Amino acid sequence: MNTLKYFLVGFLFGIVLTKSEAVSWYRIYEMFQFQSFHMYGIIGVAVATGIIGIQIIKRKNIKDIDGFPIEIQEKPRDNARYWIGGISFGLGWALVGSCPGPIFILIGAGFMPVVIVLIGALIGTVIYGALKSKLPH
């Protein structure tokens, strides 16, 4: 059960992202052309659901499944990393139409060319790791 629950949450995530076509290159392109509300609706409702859920967790001091207090990490208050990293990510997202979750989902679904995207993403991760101390954050 301990491991199974993570598998089931992932399974639901994979089905939802595929069936809503958020993993589709076409949907990402359509979003960046502002020619459909679909992707904006998905992100908007996900965030709205998340905001409500997190507010309930915080106000009612809900404990996690093991009985520990829930602490949600704050993001570091940097600047450059979000702009430069964000723009780099966006360029790649619109080029190959998949962010890290969908990369794995699409490979699972059998789209073998996406393996090249994954190899690229791992190379990009190594580049960041190697340059981290020299980059502005």
Partner 1 sequence: MSVIYQTWPWYVAGFLIGMVMLSLIYFGKNFGMSTNLQSLCSMTGLGKRIEYFDFDWKANRWNFVVVLGAMAGGFVAVHFMSDPTNVAINPKTIELLSQMGIDAPNGQLMPQALFGEQIWESPKSILILLGGGILIGFGTRYAGGCTSGHAISGLSNLQLPSLKAVIGFFIGGLIMAHFLLPLLF
99 touches 93 (CB < 8 A): yes
Q: Which residue's CB is nearer to partner 1, number 3 or number 61? A: 3
115 touches 108 (CB < 8 A): no
Residue type, 23: V
> Binding to partner 1 by residue 3, rule CB under 8 A?
yes
> Binding to partner 1 by residue 61, rule CB under 8 A?
no
Spell 75-107 as b/e; 16+ CB within 10 A means b: eeeeeeeeeeeeeeeeebbeebbbbeebbbbbb
List 19, 59, 60, 134, residue binding partner 1 (CB under 8 A):
19
Residues 103-132 within binding reach of partner 1 (CB under 8 A): 103-111, 113-114, 116-130, 132
Q: How far is CA 31 from CA 15, 45, 50, in A?
A: 20, 16, 22
List 1, 16, 59, 60, residue binding partner 1 (CB under 8 A):
16
Q: Which residue's CB is nearer to partner 1, number 59 or number 113? A: 113
> Binding to partner 1 by residue 59, rule CB under 8 A?
no
List 32, 60, 61, 134, residue binding partner 1 (CB under 8 A):
32
> Binding to partner 1 by residue 60, rule CB under 8 A?
no
